[in-house]
Amino acid sequence: MTTSVSPYAFTAETFKRVQPEEYYRKILEQDVRPDGRAFDACRTTIVNAGCIGTAEGSAVVRIGDTTVVCGIKAEVAEPTLDQPQQGYFVPNVELGPLCSARFRPGPPGDLAQLVSERLRSLLYVGSSKVVVLEDLCIEPEQAVWVIYADLTCLNYDGNILDACVLALSAALKDTRIPRASLDVDEGIVRADEQATQPLTLRPFIFAATYGIYEGRLLLADPNASEEPLMASQVTVCLMEDGQLAALWKSGGGLCSMEQVQQCIAQARKRYTELASLVSSSSSN
Amino acid sequence: MDRRRVQGPETSVVPLPTQEALAKRAALPAPVQDGKRADGRGPEDIRPIFLRTGLISQASGSAYIELGQTKVACAVYGPRQLKKQQGFSEQGRLYCEFKFATFACKKRRHPIRDPQEKEFSQIIVQALAPSIRLDRLPKSVIDLYVTVIENDGTASCLAAAITAASVALADAGVEMLDLVAATSLGYVHQQLLVDCSAAEEAYQQHTDLILAYMPSLGQVTHLLHRGPVDWPPMAAVGGACCVHVYLLLMMHAQ
Amino acid sequence: MSLGLISVVERDFVERGVDLDLRTDGRGRNDYRLPRMEMNLVAQSDGSARCQLGGSTDVLVSIRCELGQPEPTTGDRGRLAVSVECAPSASQQLEGRGADELNTELAEALSRALTGPRSGLNLRQLCIVENMHCWILNIDAIVLDLGGNVLDALLYAARAALADTRVPGTQVQSLDEGVDFEVDDDINHAAWLEHASNVPLCVTAYKIGAGYVLDATLTEELCSSARLHVSVNPAGQVCAAQKNGYGSIEPSLLITMLQAAKEKAMYLLEVQEEQIQQHKRTLLEKQTRGESVKRPSIFM
C-alpha cells in the first residue's frame, strides 16, 4: 500500500460491495478465486449421517458454509389406483428465511421449487431412480409406505443443488423403516419398531455444478457471492458407471460443447470423492 | 392444494405399533429410580448444553444449541427498516418465526406453521423483548428465525430456543440489557424433573413450566405453566436452573 | 395484543393512580367488575354462555357436539377443539387479517386451560366406540366487544357453557361387519358433561408501573407492560399460568400477583357456581311446566 491513502480510495471490502464484478475479475486475473480456491477445486465437503433421532433417516451435509439437513419420515398411505404396488417418494426443499437474507418467510420460492422438482425428477422418474418404489409396498392396493424426504437449509452459501442431492443420498442410505404388515381384520397397518430394515436403493447419483465465467473460465462449486456473476451454470448428474443421469444448464450465457465435456470429466472425479464420503458417513 | 411443493398422497398416517410394543409401553417404569432418571441424571439436573455462535454465516448473528438430543438453530437478521405498510413505530420491533423442521418430532410436522408454532413465536418475542433496547431502534425491525432440528421434549425446545435466540441477538451486536436464560421443568408422578426429555413428557398427567429469567436484573421475562401443582417449590427450582444456564452462557462468552 | 394508542400524560395518570391504589373508575387494585352472565342463549348449540365485564367486554361461547374420530394415541377419549374469533365490531384494528394474531393467542390460551387432563373434564365420557368414533366438542368463542381483560371473560363464559352442555346419548350395536351406533334425539337422554365444575377460571393480573391491578380496563391494559394469566380450579390449584406482553416482572411482584389472582379466582368460582345453579333451577322449572326444551344440535 502507498503511504498516503487518498480519501477517495476504497478498502477491498468496499470495492467488493460497490463493484463486485470488477473486484472478482481483478482477483481471477491472478489465477485464484477470492476464497483462495483453484478454479477446479470444490469447497471442503462434510457428510454426517444418522444425527437426528426422530427421523427414520437423516444426514447433515456441509459444502463450505452451505449447510443442509435432510430428514426422512416414513408414513403409510393408500397407493394410487394406477400404481397399486408402488409407494410414494416425496422430496421437498425448504429454503427458509433462516438460512439467508435473500429468502422471505412464506411458501417456497422459485429456487426451492426448482431444487425440489429436480430432486424429484432425478431420484424418482425414469430409469435413473434411486428409490425402488415397488419395495415400499406393504399390501398391494391397500397400503404402501410414503417416504417424506424434507431438506432444510440452515446456511445458504451457494450450490444448494449439489448439497441437497448429497444430503438426500446420505439420508436415504441411513434410513431404516420398520417392518410393517396389514392387519386385515382391523384394516390398520401395524409396524414393529424393533425390527427395522434399510431401503432398497439403486446406486447413487451425485451432482456437480460448475459456473461458466464470461464464457471462458470453468469454476467448480460456485459459492453464494460467485453465483450471481456466472453467466451460466452447468450441473452434471452422474451415475455409478459414469453415465449421465441428468445435465442441466441454466443462465442465459453460452457454453461450448468442449466446456460441457470438461464439466463431465471433472464431475467423474467428484463422483468418486462424494461416493466415498457417503459410504463412510453412516453410523451403522 | 399447494402447487409449490412436491405432493404426496392426500392423507398418510403413522402406522400403529404392534400389540406387544403397546403392552410394553403401558408398563412404563417409574420416571425416577434410586434417585436417577432413565438417562442417569438426577431429578434437578439439566442435560449437557452445547452452544455455538456464528455458524450461520449469512446471518447478522446466529446460535446453535444442543440440549441432550434437542437441537435448535437461531438466526438474527437486521435491524432493518420497517416496511411502509407495517406502519410507524417509535420503538423497534422484534419479529420471530419459530418452526419445527418437518422431521423434528415423532410425528411428521406440516411444512406450514401450525397454531402451536405461531404461539411459540409470540412467546419468544415476549420473552426477549424486555432484554433488548428497542427504544434505541425506532422505525426498525429485528428478524429472528428459529428452526428446531430435533425435538427431545417440546418444553425443552422452547426453553432452548429462548436461550439460543438471546445469544444470537448478542452475537448480532444488538444492544441488550442482559442475556435471557430459559429453562423447562416438569412434574411427572408428583416428582419434579428439570429439563424433561420426550420420553419423560410422554407420561400422562404431565405438568410443565417454562421460565425465562434475566439473572443480573432479577427480572422474569416469561413464564408459561400448565397442570395443577403447588407453585413455590417449582418456581424456586426454575429460578435456580435459569441462573445455572446463565452462568454457562457467561462461561461460554469468555 | 395492545390495540390503540395512549398519551404519555394519560399513562402517567393511570400509573400514579395504581401507586395510590385508586383506579380511574374508583376501584382498588384487587377489585373485580362483577361478571354478568347469561346461559343457554344459542338455540343451535348444545351449550352456550355469554359473559360481560363492566358493560364493555362482551364474549359469547358456544359448544357443539360433533361426531368424529379420536386421536390414534388416545382412542378411548373424545376431543375438544377450541377457536376464538374477535369480531371486527370490537375494534377497528381487527378488520380483515388484523385479528389473526390475537385470535391465535386467545385460542391457545383458552385451549391450554381447557384441554388435556388438566381441565378436569372426563374426556372418556365423549368416547362412543373405542378407536373408531367419539364426540368432538367444538368450543367456539366470539369476542363481541373489547373492554379489557378478555381472556378472563372468555374462560368465565367457556366454563359456564361447559356446565350448560349436554352430550347426546348413543346406543351401540354390534353387527356382523363391526359396530354401529345410533344417536338418541331425546334431550332427556343426553348427559351433562361430567366434572364440568372442575374446570378452572382465569384471573389476569396486569403490571402497571411498579404495581399491579386485577381485571384491567382497556385504558389500563394499554398502560400495562406485562400481564400474568392465572388459571385456578375449585380445588385451589394453579392449573396454568402464563406471562404475556413485552415487559418483565420481578420475582417478588410475580408471586404477589399470582397470590392475588388466585384468591380472586376462588371468589369468582363461588360467584359463578351460584349463577350456574340458578340457571339450572330455571331450566328445571321450565321442564316441569312442559315448556319445549331444545334438541341436541346434531339433529338441527
pLDDT of residue B229: 75
Q: Assess A57–B contact: CB distance below 8 Å, yes or no.
A: no
Quote the radius of gyration of chain A (alpha carbons, Å).
Answer: 22
Domain borders along chain B are 39-253
pLDDT of residue B205: 64
pLDDT of residue C3: 59
Kindly tell me if the per-residue pLDDT of B202 is higher than 60: yes
- Which residue in B122, B103, B119 sits closest to B111, CA to CA? B103
- Which residue in B87, B97, B64, B182 sits closest to B131, CA to CA? B182
3-state SS class at B150: strand
Q: What is the CATH number of the domain that holds A61?
A: 3.30.230.70
Say if CB C193 and CB C166 are below 8 A apart: yes
Chain B residue whose CA is closest to C118: B227
Q: Assess C4–B contact: CB distance below 8 Å, yes or no.
A: no
Characterise B125 by phi-psi region: left (phi > 0), alpha (psi -120 to 50), beta (else): alpha
Cβ <8 Å between B223 and C105: no
C268 or A3, which is more confident: C268
Provide mean pLDDT across the span B239-247.
91
Q: By residue range, what is the domain housing residue A162?
A: 39-281
Instruction: pLDDT band for C292, please (50, 70, 90 cuts).
Output: low
C-chain residues near B222 (CB < 8 A): 243
Provide mean pLDDT across the span C163-185.
83
CATH of B39-253, one of 3.40.630.10, 3.40.50.10380, 3.20.20.80, 3.30.230.70: 3.30.230.70
Task: Please name the member of C118, C244, C246 whose beta carbon is closest to the beta carbon of B227.
Answer: C118
Mutate to test the interface with B, among C243, C250, C262 (most CBs of B within 10 A): C243
Provide mean pLDDT across the span A213-236.
92
* Residue with cell string 468418486: A272
Reported as type and span, the H/E element at residue B219 is strand B219-229
pLDDT of residue A1: 47
pLDDT of residue C118: 61
C-chain residues near B14 (CB < 8 A): 72
Q: Is C87 exposed, middle or buried (0-12, 13-18, 19+ CB in 10 A)?
A: middle
Kindly tell me if the per-residue pLDDT of A45 is higher than 90: yes
Provide mean pLDDT across the span C70-81.
83
CA dihedral B210, B216, B220, B221 (to 10 degrees): -80
Residue A125 lies in a domain: yes
pLDDT single digits (tens) A74-100 = 999 999 999 899 999 999 999 999 999
How many Å apart are CA C161 and CA C51, to the nearest integer? 10
Kindly tell me if the per-residue pLDDT of A5 is higher than 80: no
* Number of domains, chain A: 1
pTM exceeding the 0.80 threshold for the entire prediction: yes
Residue A241 lies in a domain: yes
Q: What are the grid coordinates assigned to A13, written together?
A: 471490502
Strand partners of residue C9: none
pLDDT single digits (tens) A88-133 = 999 999 999 999 999 999 999 999 999 999 998 887 666 667 888 8
pLDDT of residue C299: 73
Neighbours of B133 (CB within 10 A): 12
Q: Assess A99–B contact: CB distance below 8 Å, yes or no.
A: yes
Say if CB B2 and CB A176 are below 8 A apart: no
Cβ <8 Å between B130 and C241: no
How many Å apart are CA A128 and CA A205, to the nearest integer? 8
Kindly tell me if the per-residue pLDDT of C116 is higher than 70: no
- Which residue in C166, C170, C196 sits closest to C183, CA to CA? C170
For chain A, positions 25-54, list CB contacts with chain B under 8 A. 52-54
- Percent of chain A clearing pLDDT 70 (strictly above): 95
Provide mean pLDDT across the span C141-150.
92
pLDDT single digits (tens) A241-270 = 888 889 999 888 888 999 999 999 999 999
Mutate to test the interface with B, among C246, C255, C269 (most CBs of B within 10 A): C246
Chain B residue whose CA is closest to A67: B56
Kindly tell me if the per-residue pLDDT of A2 is higher than 60: no
pLDDT single digits (tens) A157-170 = 999 999 999 999 99
pLDDT single digits (tens) A52-76 = 999 999 999 999 999 999 999 999 9
Provide mean pLDDT across the span C71-93.
85
- Percent of chain C clearing pLDDT 70 (strictly above): 95
ipTM score assigned to the predicted complex? 0.91
Name residues whose C-beta falls within 8 Å of residue A196's C-beta, 6 or more positions apart in sequence: A176, A177, A178, A179
> Going by DSSP bridges, is the β-strand pair B16-17/A188-198 parallel, antiparallel, or unpaired?
parallel
Provide mean pLDDT across the span B109-113.
91
3-state SS class at C151: helix
- Percent of chain A clearing pLDDT 90 (strictly above): 64
Instruction: pLDDT band for B233, please (50, 70, 90 cuts).
Output: confident
Q: Residue C257: what are its φ and ψ, rounded to 5°? A: -60, -45
Alpha helices in C115-174 (DSSP H): 150-163
Q: Is C288 exposed, middle or buried (0-12, 13-18, 19+ CB in 10 A)?
A: exposed
pLDDT of residue A6: 66
Alpha helices in chain C (DSSP H): 8-19, 100-114, 150-163, 218-223, 251-288
C108 or A282, which is more confident: C108
Task: Please name the member of C108, C117, C240 whose beta carbon is closest to the beta carbon of B225.
Answer: C240
B-chain residues near C244 (CB < 8 A): 126
Reported as type and span, the H/E element at residue B127 is helix B115-128
Provide mean pLDDT across the span B186-191.
83
3-state SS class at B24: helix
- Which residue in B254, B230, B250 sits closest to B242, CA to CA? B250
Quote the radius of gyration of chain C (alpha carbons, Å).
Answer: 21
Instruction: pLDDT band for B204, please (50, 70, 90 cuts).
Output: low
Domains of chain C: 8-291 (3.30.230.70)
Instruction: pLDDT band for C1, please (50, 70, 90 cuts).
Output: very low
